Structure 1
Amino acid sequence: MKKYSNEFKVGLFVIICVFGLFYLSYSTGKINLGEGGYRIYAVFEDISGLGEKSPVMVNGLEAGKVDNIDVVYGEGRTRMVLELWIKEGVKIRENPKISIKTLGMMGEKYIQISSRQGEGFIEPGERLEGEPFIDMDELMSNINSLTDEVKKLSQNLNYTVEDNQDEISRLIKNLEATSKNLEEFSADVKRHPWKLLFKTK
């Protein structure tokens, strides 16, 4: 049986490790083998759970993915810098709107780039400001809280009306009597306009 030297075994192990690392890099998207493309950067205050490999959509078309996420600690605030890989041939016009969206009921997040009208296109490596993320759960919670407050206000108004029902009824009767008197006075003036000029005894 043929024996292999220790040097051969070590060399074979190193080769296997290199191929293994290469495969992992390719499968996780760090290496885009056989694909061209370019990278741009999007900056957000909050990415709300968005992760690496998340899709990048340009006007609704899947056109890339999130390659890397860095946390940058600046003066007085913390920001997230996303490295976005964009497929070759996909052009994004200047001053695009970049935002984080949620896909379907499962809540998978992705980057949406809305390429606006314009003459020029952004260049590879450009750094762009992202739009604030709108948390739908938080928005619905605020709407529910507002609905509860409106219900409480409505109940308080009902209680106020019930507690002052007699007073409100008297007020309505007085208004009806005043309206009737005004109608009678108006009709009398139409029949006898001279009463406006001479005070009757």
Structure 2
Amino acid sequence: MRLNNEIRIGMMVSAVVVLLAGLSIKTGNLNFTRAGYVLKVRFGNIDGVNVNAPVMVNGFEVGIVKDIAIKDDADETQMELTLWLDDKAKIREGAQAYVKNLGLLGEKYVGLSAGPKGGKILSPETVIEGVEPSDLGKLMSDGQEIAAQLKEISQSINGHLQKNKEAIDSILANMDVTVKNMSSITKNVDERLEMNKAHIDEMMVNLHAASVNLDELSYDLKANPWKLLYRPKEQKKKDF
């Protein structure tokens, strides 16, 4: 049985629709079969995060950014991100949220910490206050300001050095003379030691001998402590 052209075209269109639906589910991170729940995060600045951006816990992808809304309060305007998380990803009280990059200039994503151990598991729809991302423009501006201050300090130091050039040269010259004098003194001391080497050696020998005698005396007194109290009797003079 041959298929007519209408049936063939219908089958091709159906296949294309199924393929496109599969790609949409895959690329759009739609979750029709996976169980999950929603948390909300508020930032003052989301730094380019978009809907469908990944959500990661400790570097592992567990969900997507489902929606972004502007929340105008009395004090400030904040961006509220609705996060869809896989039901297996349990976030505890005390968790923090960050805006991060995949690589240096890669896609923006929302990073979550799981929270401290022992903390209570957050219930769906809980709002987490996010940690504000660093402002790259402000960092560059601060860096330029610091560089300008360093340049000013360098110029000031250079000006003082130029202004006191003669005094600095004089100090360095005096230090050179002092070093030469110290070298001369050291040389004289070496010569004196060499000239009196025999006397010094003799003194060292005598000191060593005295030390040995003291050691022997100390040992003898320890062995015979009565010698400390012994006094020889004086011989009586004979009467003639």
* Global fold match (TM > 0.5): yes
- Cα distance change of structure 1 residues 78 and 30 upon mapping to structure 2, 3 Å threshold: farther
Consecutive unaligned residues in structure 2, runs of 5 or more: 1-16, 179-240
Aligned-partner Cα distance in 2 for 1:65–1:130: 16
- Cα distance change of structure 1 residues 69 and 137 upon mapping to structure 2, 3 Å threshold: same
Write the letter of the residue equivalent to 2:126. Answer: E
SS of the residue aligned with 2:41? strand
SS of the residue aligned with 1:75? coil
Aligned-partner Cα distance in 2 for 1:25–1:84: 19
Question: Aligned pairs, how many?
Answer: 156
Aligned-partner Cα distance in 2 for 1:45–1:122: 22
Kindly indicate whether the alpha-carbon contact (under 8 Å) linking 1:28 and 1:53 is maintained by their aligned counterparts in 2: no
The more displaced of 27-36 and 147-156 is 27-36
Tell whether 2:122 aligns with 1:129: no
Write the letter of the residue equivalent to 1:92. Answer: I
Tell whether 2:70 aligns with 1:75: no
More helix by share: 2
Kindly indicate whether the alpha-carbon contact (under 8 Å) linking 1:70 and 1:80 is maintained by their aligned counterparts in 2: yes
Aligned-partner Cα distance in 2 for 1:30–1:114: 21
Kindly indicate whether the alpha-carbon contact (under 8 Å) linking 2:29 and 2:52 is maintained by their aligned counterparts in 1: no
Higher relative contact order (CA 8 A, sep 6+): 1
Give CA-to-partner distance per residue, 1:30-74, whole Å, 9 cap, x none: 852112100000011111111111111101101111000000111
- Superposed, 1:46-61 pairs within 5 Å as 46-61=45-60
Give % identity: 33
The more displaced of 111-120 and 137-146 is 137-146
Q: 1:26: Cα distance to partner?
A: 5.1
Consecutive unaligned residues in structure 1, runs of 5 or more: 1-18, 180-201
SS of the residue aligned with 1:68? strand
- Cα distance change of structure 1 residues 27 and 48 upon mapping to structure 2, 3 Å threshold: same
Q: 1:113: Cα distance to partner?
A: 0.5
Kindly indicate whether the alpha-carbon contact (under 8 Å) linking 1:94 and 1:118 is maintained by their aligned counterparts in 2: no
Aligned-partner Cα distance in 1 for 2:69–2:50: 11
Q: Give the structure 1 partner of residue 143 of structure 2.
A: 143
Q: TM-score w.r.t. structure 2 length?
A: 0.56
* Structure possessing the higher radius of gyration over alpha carbons: 2
Greater than 6 Å deviation, 4+ residue runs: none
Q: 1:100: Cα distance to partner?
A: 0.7
Tell whether 2:93 aligns with 1:94: yes
Q: 1:116: Cα distance to partner?
A: 2.7
Write the letter of the residue equivalent to 1:96. Answer: A
More strand by share: 1
Q: Once superposed, what is the RMSD of the aligned Cα atoms?
A: 3.1
- Superposed, 1:184-195 pairs within 5 Å as none
Aligned-partner Cα distance in 2 for 1:26–1:117: 34
Q: 1:29: Cα distance to partner?
A: 4.4
The more displaced of 148-157 and 81-90 is 148-157
- Cα distance change of structure 1 residues 142 and 97 upon mapping to structure 2, 3 Å threshold: same
Aligned-partner Cα distance in 2 for 1:70–1:151: 45
